[in-house]
């Protein structure tokens, strides 16, 4: 029984990926499993976790053919489901524990599953297509294992000043987004507010750099610190690349990598610091499965590309970021330019990133348009340096001047999260400010968000053609006002701890905020 | 449970006889259901025949839980009950037997090893449900969106419908809200829709889900899938499950399962658990024979009766003196060895008294009233029946003497003594005489006609302290011209500031008062929607984990809802969605004042069942 072993595993988190089209015959059920964390759980336990998941997917389809099981809430655990690709399911099981602050918002957890899958797509393509290429699934499993473990691992402890806490394996234990993260929204992009003049310069910089590639279908993404300045990608691709950049490419991500330990270098010493089943050494990473799996474990496994690996990016002398993650051949020492898949066009793109101080410029060039591989890329880089490095300097200077620092988007008296669902944008109070809220307020907010999540998903299924319009102002037991407003694809969540007693005061505060910072989106006419 | 013993035999065996024909007409559907059942029984053994067609639909479902059931057993995981697998097998067999001939039915019928009263219950319903036209059914099939059907004011008809459906039929699957009771061995005990015997396989699946999670040291509470929620409640050997695509929150659905369980305890007492201790495969259905109507009317009340989620009761508005008079005569009999004396009109309390130190929980009152009102036999003659009040003492029977004084008003005298019938009959005659003499019964009838508080009548100015809701009682306030004209102005749009409706719950009294529905709540459908909105608000305000909130303002496309929870009372008010916040708040304050002004008439004072 999977659940009993969850209980014995004090960290209480399991994550699995399985394919319902595989292992249909009795005795071959193991074949369904594509990923399981922790990997050292007995197969029988893994199988029973997947058995329950599969059973409930089948059961719920009796009544709800259009949407199968999304969550199982048990007394002590939540099982959150996500159908990543047709018949390929991801399930995360978390233990609930009030004392340990293990209080979860289901949609928050599901977003984690979505995110890791989207990133996987970006680097490897769809799981289904990989399975079709390799029915034995040996290297798919290795890829998934390495990728997800890299995703889950952390290189530093959470700091309240961090803009985005994307990593979960914070030194001792997995820290999935809990009620404390209720004023954050995964799978959205945080933008820098840019003045008119700066915007024009940014535009011209983008034009110049993209023209250096000589290809019509190249794209770019410009970040200042961990904030997006400009993008020419589709919304989905923007989110994915932005997420990756903030994880591994921005100056903050690079410096964090330098100062911290690397489990690869420290080997077993590091792995003991991580409780429970961990990645340990690179060798065990690449061999998560026993031979009995029937996979013809080839050499290539240990050389699966690890785009999320830590400390593998650094800034080169010419300002371009370099990495040895991508290699020309297995085991060779020759690194090649990284490449990713665009979701929108399913096109493969080279990824070049240039960094100047706080500015990170990511350039995507279609692989098909570069004729002589690495040399072609080198030529493009040269062109960029020649034509755009000065412009980069100027843009960086301009943005730095206008930048209000870490607390730039703090609004005194408010703790807020603003989500623009249509444009996948979000803006929130800085984490350091959110951390001043009491636990009671955050719990009430998490609960309210859960309620709104259900209303939203309900509206989606009812599909009445109009979007959910909802306003909830609650005065919690601790007298804080916890507020949610959903209107025309925009969402506002707010906690007012210093508010006066009345509801009118609280609504007035929302109105002022809406008029001043949201162009009146949440104002009543 | 079918509605009567005779009907049970007939319909079941004919169902079995016609089984294969029906199956032939729906090969895919039945194949699917059979596949699951067979899997459950045989631990995923290969299934041939019509299973092929199902493979396409059910896709990978074959191993699912089925394989795992085997696994659990092999692993020797500690199981609270003995031999889970063999029971599932038996259910599988029972189903197979039913499919091949009707002998299985004979076995399932069994001998009702029950006391005589079970038979008495059997006579209470008379199969009103079978073949009934739908009328206003509160939880139509999802896709039926025809307002004509759901808006019709036709009275709700008690009893079970759609008996011929089972889990293979599409229409059964599309029911908006299913309720199931089953035993821990997977035997069906009650299903809101469909014939329990035909749902044996489905029931076994539910059991498998529950025990699978239980064996892992956890307890499944909720499964969510799209619009659907599957809510589980385990009460010892009794499992209760609700499958719903209504918008009700988990907490509400769980509360409804608790009430259904309470209703079952009211009929049988909790000592039924002992039967399961002696024999895990014990078949409970004969014990509940004929009580379909009781459950279906309770389930119906989940969509109109606020008492089901407020855990409070409501009183019929009456002049203070009138209610005093009724209370006095009830008090007399309470002093002569009656545990509780309750006078009710439909679901509203006229008066109630209890013996010293005995307290009556609002949920018990709800369940008792539901039991009495839904059983036809109580209406035709005086009755003396064993009942159990689950919140009072779930282990023991009390005896209820029930007599209707007129079509809607009934007296219930509860005692611990099984041979008190003649004494209680005397008590009743005394009470009836006094009530008739003091005109209480006619006042009750008048009050039923007049109704209660109406939002249009919400006073603009603070009333003099002697305010009354009941002008006809001679204490009425003078109605000013301006008030009259305002009333006209509000006609069709509710009360001042767009107030449409309110519910006020007094915490100390365990009582609530709800305003009458006035336009724009003309239809049952609109009323039900408002009821559900209140229910959602209640769940949102009363979170068990973080404690009750104090105030909530909620605006969506249908309403503005305001909720205010204090130590003394809770107010829920619904306004026009365009209502102004400031004036809505003012109006809420006025509603509270109004309620306080007329509390003598709308509440039963000085007799809170908890306060003795």
- HEC profile for A182-224? CCCCCCCECECCCCHHHHHHHHHHHHHHHHHCCCCCCEEEEEE
Class of domain A415-517: alpha beta
Best CA proximity match to A58, nearest among A68, A45, A71: A68
Which residues of B are less than 8 Å from A69 in CB distance?
223-225
Strand order in the sheet with A219-224: A227-231, A219-224, A359-366, A348-356, A339-341
Which residues of B are less than 8 Å from A473 in CB distance?
551-554
| Mean pLDDT, residues A258-269 taken together | 36
**SS3 for A43?**
helix
Q: Is-same-fold flag (B5-109+116-303; B320-361+374-449)?
A: yes
Distance CA B132, CA B151 (A): 18
Q: Which two tokens stand for residue B199?
A: 């749902």
Listed by number, the residues of chain A in 431-450 with a beta carbon closer than 8 Å to a beta carbon of chain B are 440, 443-444, 447
| Mean pLDDT, residues B191-199 taken together | 90
Does residue A183 register a pLDDT over 80? yes
Query: Of A130-144, A184-198, B4-18, B148-162, which range is least confident?
Result: B4-18
DSSP bridge pairs for B242: B179, B231
Residue B559 — φ and ψ, nearest 5°? -145, 165
Q: Quick: pLDDT tens for B92-130.
A: 333 222 223 333 333 333 333 333 333 333 333 333 333
Please answer yes or no on whether B225 and A76 come within 8 Å at the CB atom: no
Residue with tokens 């969510």: B224
CATH of domain B5-109+116-303: 3.30.450.70
Under DSSP, the state recorded for B175 is: B
Query: Of A321-325, B80-84, B245-249, which range is least confident?
Result: B80-84
Does residue A414 register a pLDDT over 50? yes
Contact (Cβ atoms closer than 8 angstroms) between residue A442 and residue A179 = yes
Q: Quick: pLDDT tens for A38-94.
A: 899 999 999 999 999 999 999 999 999 999 999 999 999 999 999 999 999 999 999
In DSSP notation, B512-556 reads: EEEPPP-TT--SHHHHHHHHHHHHHHHHHHEETTTEE-SEEEEE-
Q: How far is CA B510 from the centre of its chain?
A: 19
DSSP bridge pairs for A491: A419, A486
Q: Which two tokens stand for residue B607?
A: 């007799």
Residue with tokens 């035909």: B198
pLDDT of residue A358: 94
In DSSP notation, A252-302 reads: HHHHHHHHS--HHHHTHHHHHHS-SS---SHHHHH--S-GGG-----GGGG
Percent of all residues in chain B with a pLDDT value above 90, rounded to a whole number:
53
Does residue B246 register a pLDDT over 80? yes
pLDDT of residue B449: 92
Class of domain A2-181: alpha beta
Q: Which two tokens stand for residue B261?
A: 């369980």
Please report how many Cα atoms fall inside a 13 Å half-sphere around the Cα of residue B517, on the Cβ side. 14
Does residue B11 register a pLDDT over 60? no
Which residues of B are less than 8 Å from A47 in CB distance?
68, 71
Distance CA B85, CA B204 (A): 10
pLDDT of residue A272: 29
Radius of gyration, alpha carbons of chain B: 26
Distance CA A449, CA A485 (A): 10
DSSP bridge pairs for A88: A19, A85
What stretch of H or E contains A418?
strand A415-420
Under DSSP, the state recorded for B586 is: H
Distance CA B4, CA B16 (A): 18
What mean pLDDT value characterizes chain B?
75
DSSP bridge pairs for A363: A220, A352
Does B582 contact A at CB distance below 8 Å? yes
Return the CATH fold of B320-361+374-449.
Answer: Beta-Lactamase (3.30.450)
Best CA proximity match to A258, nearest among A302, A312, A294: A312
Contact (Cβ atoms closer than 8 angstroms) between residue A66 and residue A96 = no
Distance CA B371, CA B267 (A): 8
Q: What ipTM was estimated for this complex? A: 0.87
User: B524-548: b or e for each residue (b if 16 or more CB lie within 10 Å)?
Assistant: bbbebbbbbbbbbbbbbbebeebee
Does residue B218 register a pLDDT over 80? yes
Which residues of A are less than 8 Å from B218 in CB distance?
3, 7, 74-77
Mutate one of B546, B557, B559, B561 to test the A interface: name it (highest A CB count within 10 A).
B546
Does residue B442 register a pLDDT over 70? yes
Residue with tokens 């669902």: A421
**What are the residue boundaries of the structural domains of chain B, listed by start?**
5-109+116-303, 320-361+374-449, 452-602
| Mean pLDDT, residues A334-361 taken together | 92
Best CA proximity match to A387, nearest among A365, A364, A354, A359: A354
**SS3 for B399?**
strand
B230 to chain A: closest CA residue:
A60
Distance CA B72, CA A444 (A): 39
Which residues of A are less than 8 Å from B209 in CB distance?
55-56, 59
Does B215 contact A at CB distance below 8 Å? yes
The vertex-A313 CA angle with A308 and A319, nearest 5°, equals 140
Please report how many Cα atoms fall inside a 13 Å half-sphere around the Cα of residue B236, on the Cβ side. 11
Please report how many Cα atoms fall inside a 13 Å half-sphere around the Cα of residue A379, on the Cβ side. 11
Distance CA A472, CA A488 (A): 15
Q: Which residue has the higher pLDDT, A465 or A281?
A: A465
Does residue A447 register a pLDDT over 80? yes
pLDDT of residue B381: 86
d(CA B596, nearest CA chain A) in Å: 23
Please answer yes or no on whether A6 and B216 come within 8 Å at the CB atom: yes
Q: Is the dihedral of CA A331, A333, A334, A336 positive or negative?
A: positive
| Mean pLDDT, residues B343-356 taken together | 92
Q: Quick: pLDDT tens for B494-537.
A: 778 899 999 999 999 999 999 999 877 888 899 999 999 999 99
pLDDT of residue A395: 95
B72 to chain A: closest CA residue:
A1
Contact (Cβ atoms closer than 8 angstroms) between residue B503 and residue B511 = no
Contact (Cβ atoms closer than 8 angstroms) between residue A429 and residue A410 = yes
What mean pLDDT value characterizes chain A?
83
Query: Of A448-452, B145-149, B292-296, which range is least confident?
Result: B145-149
pLDDT of residue A466: 64
Does A467 contact B at CB distance below 8 Å? no
Best CA proximity match to B157, nearest among B261, B3, B1, B285: B3
pLDDT of residue B397: 95
**Residue of A70, A73, A477 lying closest to B225 (CB–CB):** A70
Q: Quick: pLDDT tens for B385-427.
A: 999 999 999 999 999 999 999 999 999 999 999 999 999 999 9
Distance CA A504, CA A435 (A): 26
d(CA A187, nearest CA chain B) in Å: 21
Please answer yes or no on whether B60 and A26 come within 8 Å at the CB atom: no
Please answer yes or no on whether B67 and A51 come within 8 Å at the CB atom: yes
Kindly give the pairing relationship between strand A71-74 and strand B511-514.
unpaired
| Mean pLDDT, residues A514-525 taken together | 79
Which residues of B are less than 8 Å from A475 in CB distance?
549-552
Distance CA A484, CA A451 (A): 10
A77 to chain B: closest CA residue:
B218
d(CA B199, nearest CA chain A) in Å: 14
pLDDT of residue B36: 35
Does A324 contact B at CB distance below 8 Å? no
**Residue of B226, B554, B585 lying closest to A64 (CB–CB):** B226
**SS3 for B254?**
helix
Confidence of residue B158 (pLDDT cuts 50, 70, 90): low
Asked if CATH classification 3.30.450.190 holds for the domain at B452-602, the reply, yes or no, is yes
Please answer yes or no on whether A55 and B228 come within 8 Å at the CB atom: no
| Mean pLDDT, residues A32-42 taken together | 93
Does residue A265 register a pLDDT over 50? no
Listed by number, the residues of chain B in 557-576 with a beta carbon closer than 8 Å to a beta carbon of chain A are 557
Distance CA B43, CA B88 (A): 10
Distance CA B398, CA B266 (A): 10
Q: Is B56 exposed, middle or buried (0-12, 13-18, 19+ CB in 10 A)?
A: exposed
Question: What Cα–Cα distance (Å) separates residue B88 from each residue in B94, B186, B203, B208?
Answer: 10, 7, 10, 8
d(CA B356, nearest CA chain A) in Å: 37
pLDDT of residue A287: 41
Which residues of A are less than 8 Å from B547 in CB distance?
477
Does residue B476 register a pLDDT over 90? no
Class of domain A205-260+321-402: alpha beta
Does residue B181 register a pLDDT over 50? yes
d(CA B496, nearest CA chain A) in Å: 19
**Segments of chain A assigned to CATH 3.30.450.70:** 2-181
B75 to chain A: closest CA residue:
A1
Residue A273 — φ and ψ, nearest 5°? -70, -20
Distance CA B114, CA B130 (A): 26
Which residues of B are less than 8 Å from A21 in CB distance?
59-60
Which residues of A are less than 8 Å from B205 in CB distance?
59
B579 to chain A: closest CA residue:
A524
Kindly give the pairing relationship between strand B542-543 and strand A219-224.
unpaired
Q: How many CB pairs under 8 A join A and B?
A: 213
């Amino acid at each position: 029984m999977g659940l009993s072993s969850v209980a014995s595993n004090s960290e209480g988190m399991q994550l699995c990926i399985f394919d319902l089209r595989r292992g249909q015959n009795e005795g071959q059920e193991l074949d369904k499993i594509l990923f399981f964390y922790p990997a050292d759980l007995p197969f029988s336990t893994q199988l029973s976790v997947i058995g329950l998941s599969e059973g409930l997917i089948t059961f719920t389809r009796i009544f709800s053919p259009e949407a199968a099981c999304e969550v199982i809430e048990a007394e002590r655990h939540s099982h959150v489901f996500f159908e990543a690709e047709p018949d390929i399911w991801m399930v995360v099981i978390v233990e609930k524990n009030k004392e340990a602050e293990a209080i979860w918002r289901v949609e928050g957890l599901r977003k984690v599953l979505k995110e890791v899958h989207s990133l996987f797509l970006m680097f490897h393509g769809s799981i289904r297509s990989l399975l079709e290429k390799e029915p034995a699934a040996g290297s798919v499993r290795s890829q998934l294992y390495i990728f997800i473990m890299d995703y889950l691992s952390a290189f530093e402890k959470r700091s309240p000043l961090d803009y985005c806490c994307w990593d979960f394996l914070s030194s001792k234990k997995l820290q999935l987004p809990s009620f404390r993260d209720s004023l954050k929204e995964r799978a959205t992009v945080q933008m820098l507010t840019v003045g008119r003049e700066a915007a024009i310069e940014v535009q011209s910089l983008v034009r110049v750099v993209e023209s250096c590639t000589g290809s019509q279908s190249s794209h770019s993404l410009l970040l200042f610190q961990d904030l997006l300045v400009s993008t020419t990608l589709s919304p989905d691709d923007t989110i994915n690349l932005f997420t990756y950049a903030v994880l591994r490419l921005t100056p903050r991500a690079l410096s964090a990598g330098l100062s911290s330990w690397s489990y690869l270098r420290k080997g077993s010493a590091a792995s003991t610091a991580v409780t429970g089943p961990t990645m340990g050494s690179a060798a065990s990473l690449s061999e998560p499965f026993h031979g009995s799996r029937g996979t013809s474990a080839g050499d290539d496994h240990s050389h699966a590309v690890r785009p999320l690996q830590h400390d593998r990016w650094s800034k080169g002398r010419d300002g371009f970021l370099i990495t040895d993650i991508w290699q020309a051949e297995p085991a060779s020492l020759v690194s090649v330019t990284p490449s990713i898949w665009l979701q929108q066009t399913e096109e493969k793109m080279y990824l070049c990133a240039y960094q100047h101080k706080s500015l990170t410029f990511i350039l995507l060039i279609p692989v098909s348009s570069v004729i002589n591989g690495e040399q072609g890329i080198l030529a493009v880089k040269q062109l960029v340096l020649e034509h755009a490095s000065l412009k980069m300097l100027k843009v960086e200077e301009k943005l730095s001047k206008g930048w209000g620092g870490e607390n730039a988007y703090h609004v005194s008296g408010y703790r807020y999260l603003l989500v623009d669902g249509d444009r996948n944008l979000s803006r929130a109070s800085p984490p350091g400010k959110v951390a001043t809220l009491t636990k009671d307020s955050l719990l009430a907010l998490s609960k309210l968000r859960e309620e709104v999540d259900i209303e939203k998903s309900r509206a989606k299924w009812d599909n009445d053609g109009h979007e959910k319009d909802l306003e909830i102002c609650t005065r919690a037991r601790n007298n804080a006002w916890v507020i949610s407003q959903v209107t025309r694809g925009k969402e506002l969540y707010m906690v007012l701890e210093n508010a006066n007693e009345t509801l009118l005061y609280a609504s007035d505060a929302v109105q002022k905020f809406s008029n001043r910072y949201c162009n009146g989106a949440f104002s009543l006419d | 449970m079918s509605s009567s013993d005779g009907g049970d035999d007939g319909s079941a065996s004919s169902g079995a006889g016609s089984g294969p024909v029906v199956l032939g007409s729906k090969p895919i559907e039945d194949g699917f259901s059979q596949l699951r059942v067979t899997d459950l029984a045989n631990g995923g053994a290969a299934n041939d025949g019509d299973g092929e067609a199902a493979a396409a639909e059910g896709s990978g479902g074959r191993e699912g839980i089925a394989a795992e059931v085997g696994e659990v057993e092999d692993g020797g995981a500690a199981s609270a009950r003995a031999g889970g697998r063999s029971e599932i097998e038996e259910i599988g067999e029972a189903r197979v037997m039913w499919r091949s001939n009707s002998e299985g039915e004979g076995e399932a019928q069994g001998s009702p090893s029950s006391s005589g009263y079970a038979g008495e219950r059997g006579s209470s319903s008379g199969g009103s449900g079978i073949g009934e036209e739908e009328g206003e059914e509160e939880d139509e099939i999802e896709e039926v969106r025809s307002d004509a059907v759901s808006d019709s004011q036709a009275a709700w008809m008690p009893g079970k419908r759609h008996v011929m459906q089972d889990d293979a039929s599409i229409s059964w699957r599309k029911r908006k809200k299913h309720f199931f009771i089953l035993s821990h061995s997977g035997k069906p005990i009650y299903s809101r829709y469909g014939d329990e015997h035909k749902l044996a396989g489905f029931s076994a699946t539910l059991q498998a889900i529950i025990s699978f999670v239980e064996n892992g040291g956890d307890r499944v509470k909720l499964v969510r899938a799209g619009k659907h929620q599957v809510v589980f409640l385990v009460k010892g050997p009794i499992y209760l499950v609700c499958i719903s695509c209504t918008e009700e929150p988990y907490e509400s659905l769980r509360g409804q399962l608790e009430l259904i369980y309470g209703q079952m305890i009211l009929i049988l007492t909790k000592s039924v658990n002992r039967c399961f201790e002696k024999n895990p495969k014990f078949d409970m259905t004969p014990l509940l024979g004929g009580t379909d109507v009781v459950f279906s009317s309770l389930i119906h009340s989940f969509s109109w009766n606020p008492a089901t989620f407020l855990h409070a009761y409501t009183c019929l508005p009456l002049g203070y003196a009138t209610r005093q008079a009724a209370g006095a005569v009830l008090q007399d009999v309470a002093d002569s060895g009656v545990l509780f004396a309750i006078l009710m009109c439909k679901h509203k309390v006229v008066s109630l008294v209890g013996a010293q130190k005995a307290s009556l929980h609002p949920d018990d009152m709800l369940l008792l009233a539901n039991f009495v009102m839904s059983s036809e036999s109580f209406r035709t003659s005086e009755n003396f029946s064993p009942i159990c009040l689950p919140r009072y003492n779930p282990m023991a029977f009390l005896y209820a003497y029930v007599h209707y004084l007129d079509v809607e008003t009934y007296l219930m005298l509860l005692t611990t003594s099984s041979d008190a019938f003649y004494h209680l009959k005397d008590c009743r005659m005394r009470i009836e005489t006094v009530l008739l003499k003091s005109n209480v019964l006619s006042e009750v009838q008048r009050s039923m006609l007049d109704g209660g508080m109406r939002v249009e009548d919400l006073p603009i100015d603070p009333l003099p302290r002697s305010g009354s809701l009941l002008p006809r009682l001679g204490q009425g306030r003078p109605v000013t011209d301006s008030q009259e004209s305002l009333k006209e102005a509000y006609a069709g749009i509710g009360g001042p500031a767009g107030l449409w409706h309110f519910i006020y719950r007094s915490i100390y009294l365990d009582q609530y008062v709800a305003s009458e529905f006035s336009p724009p709540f003309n239809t049952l459908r609109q009323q039900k929607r408002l009821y559900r909105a209140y229910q959602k608000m209640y769940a949102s305000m009363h979170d068990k984990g973080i404690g009750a909130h104090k105030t909530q303002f909620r605006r969506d496309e249908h309403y503005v809802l305001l909720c205010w929870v204090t130590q003394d009372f809770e107010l829920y008010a619904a306004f026009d969605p365009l209502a102004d916040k400031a004036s809505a708040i003012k109006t809420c304050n006025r509603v509270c004042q109004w309620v306080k002004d007329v509390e003598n008439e709308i509440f039963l004072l000085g007799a809170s069942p908890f306060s003795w």
